[in-house]
Structure 1
Amino acid sequence: MAPPGVRGSGVRLVQKVSSTRGFARVAPHVVPALDRAVHRLSRGKVLLSARLLPGVVLTARGARSGLPRRTPLACMPEGRDDEGAAGSWLLVGSNFGRADHPAWTGNLLAHPEAEISWRGRDVPVTARLLSGAERDAAWAALLEFWPPYATYQARVDREIRVFRIVRR
C-alpha cells in the first residue's frame, strides 16, 4: 500500500533515500523547519512533507516547560467517520532512525491531550502509547504503509514509540 501522492518507482526511490544514514543526519534539521515555515505561511493548509506521506502538525505541551511545542510529523490515518474524515492517526517516534526518542514523544507521555493540524483544520486529540499486541498490529500496518520504519528500528537499540491519537 503506497502512501497517497507517491506512485510507482517514485515511492521506491523516496523510501530508499529516506532509509540512508545521511538522510537521518540531515532530515531532522531541514524537514521540520521547512514544514513549520510553509505550514505557517499557508495558514495551515500546506505541509510540504505531506506530499510524500500524510502529515500533521502536532501541538503538545512540553513535558517540563508546559509550553506549546509544534512538531510536523508523518502519520498514518486510520478509520473514517461518517463524513470521510480520519477518525484516528498513528504517530511513529522513529526520529529518522536516530538513537534517542524524539522530544515530542516525551511531551505526549507527560501531556496526552494535544492538538493536530490536519488538512488545514485544528483537531483536539488524545494520545496513547501503544504496547503489546496492539503495538505489534499497528507496527505491522505501519511497515506495510512505509517500509523504511523497519530500517529505522534496525538502526537503534530502543523500541520505537508508536502512538494512536484520537479526536476528543
Structure 2
Amino acid sequence: MGIPEVRPDPPSPLIRYGARFFSIAPGRWFLRRVGWRLDRALITATDGHLSMSATRPEVLLTHIGAKSGKQYSTPLTYFTDAGRVIVIASNYGDTRHPGWFHNVKAHSRVTLAARGYRGAFIGEEITGAERDRLFELAKQFMPNYADYEKRSGGRRIPVIAFTEAGTE
C-alpha cells in the first residue's frame, strides 16, 4: 500500500490538547466551516505533503457525488489496519452522516492521496464486531471521536475501510 501506514496509537499530549480545543464551540465551528476547506487546498497544493493538521494524519478522499455525479475532495483523518485505510464518518458529531459517506456508498471506487502518493481504492462500510473494534481504536487514537459519538444524537457513526484497487 502506498498510503503511509499510521498506527492508531494513543494520542500524544499535543493531539489531546488539540482534541480539547476542537471539542469546544469555537473549535467545532472552525473545523466545520473553515478548517476542512483550508486543509483541502493545502493538501492539494503540496501533493499531500502538508496539511493544516500537524497533529494528525490526513488523507484526501476524492469521490463522486451520489446524486450530482460531480467530483468532490474531502480531507479526512485516517489510520491503517491490516493494509486498509480506515476513516470515521463522524461529521463532527452531527446527527446526520457526512455527504462523502453517501457518495462512497453510491460510488465505492475513489482516489486517496497522502504524502505524495495517489491511488485508486475501494471503500466499504464495516459493520458488526469489526466496526466496533475499529471505532474503539479510533477513539483511542483521536479523542474527538468519543465526543462526536456523544453529540451524534444516538447515530451509529460509520467506519469505512478503503482497500487499494491499483495505481492510477
TM-score under structure 1 length normalisation: 0.86
Q: Which position in structure 1 is the counterpart of 2:3?
A: none
In percent, how many aligned pairs have the same letter? 30
Is 1:30 the counterpart of 2:30? The answer is: no
Aligned counterparts, 1:104-123, within 5 A? 104-123=100-119
Q: Which position in structure 2 is the counterpart of 1:162?
A: 159
**Cα RMSD for the two superposed structures:** 1.5
Query: CA offsets per residue over residues 45-65 of structure 1, 9 Å max, x none?
Result: 32222x211110000111011
Q: Secondary structure at the match of 2:78?
A: strand
Is 1:99 the counterpart of 2:95? The answer is: yes
Q: 1:11 to 1:46 in 2, by over 3 A?
A: closer
Q: Secondary structure at the match of 1:48?
A: coil
Tell me how far 1:30 sits from its aligned partner: 1.2
Is 1:15 the counterpart of 2:19? The answer is: yes
Unaligned runs of 5+ in 1: 80-86
Query: CA offsets per residue over residues 56-79 of structure 1, 9 Å max, x none?
Result: 000011101112111111111224
CA distance in structure 2 between the partners assigned to 1:14 and 1:76 by the alignment: 17
What number of residue pairs does the alignment pair up? 156
Tell me how far 1:134 sits from its aligned partner: 1.1
Is 1:89 the counterpart of 2:88? The answer is: no
Q: Which position in structure 1 is the counterpart of 2:59?
A: 56
AA aligned opposite 1:106: H
Unaligned runs of 5+ in 2: 1-8
CA distance in structure 1 between the partners assigned to 2:149 and 2:90 by the alignment: 7
Structure number with greater CO (CA < 8 Å, separation at least 6) is 2
Contact 2:15–2:56, Cα closer than 8 Å, also in 1: no
Is 1:41 the counterpart of 2:34? The answer is: no
Q: Secondary structure at the match of 1:53?
A: coil
TM-score under structure 2 length normalisation: 0.86
